[in-house]
Amino acid sequence: MTKVLGRAERVDFADYGLHDIPAKVDTGAYSSSIDCSKVELRNGELEFILFHPSVKGYTGELHHTQEFDTTEVKNANGVQLRYVIFPQMTINGETRRCRLTLADRSKLRYPVLIGRRFLREGEYTVDVRIGKGLPDDEEERNL
């Protein structure tokens, strides 16, 4: 069965009590990422706050995990070392564990980016004519 995603979708992260979060599906990006306003390693535990205050869904809650990794991400600014978390993500009614880098996406339109790795592992195809992201006329960061 072919699973098709649009250029943008709505996702849930039940682990963090986050629902109906806009996500950009980007076949040009290898890894997936989520907006993070604070991240700190303390006593072998990763502490982080998801989103920035301007993002719908921001709670300011400090999350903790001992299950994390690091990775190098190449972008326009060079190579950046990022922390990686492994939450359950629900997209189009299907819940799968995913691999998300924690990144400052505060200046970007979507707080979540879904990359090729997630698409390949979930056997998704992308049809840019469809999607459930932001309305075309919605202003940036007015999520």
In 3D space, the residue among 141, 115, 126 whose CA is nearest the CA of residue 22 turns out to be 141
Ramachandran category for residue 17: left, alpha or beta (phi over 0 → left; psi -120 to 50 → alpha): left
Distance CA 4, CA 102 (A): 26
- Is residue 119 situated within a structural domain? yes
Tens digit of pLDDT per residue, the chain (143 long)?
679 999 999 999 999 999 999 999 999 999 999 999 999 999 999 999 999 998 888 999 999 999 999 999 887 888 999 999 999 999 999 999 999 999 999 999 999 999 999 999 999 999 988 877 665 545 444 44
Structural domain count of the chain: 1
Which three-class secondary structure state does DSSP give residue 135?
Answer: coil
Distance CA 103, CA 64 (A): 16
* This prediction's pTM: 0.89
CATH number, position 13: 2.40.70.10
- Is residue 91 situated within a structural domain? yes
- Give the range of the structural domain holding residue 112, as residue numbers without chain letter: 3-35+68-126
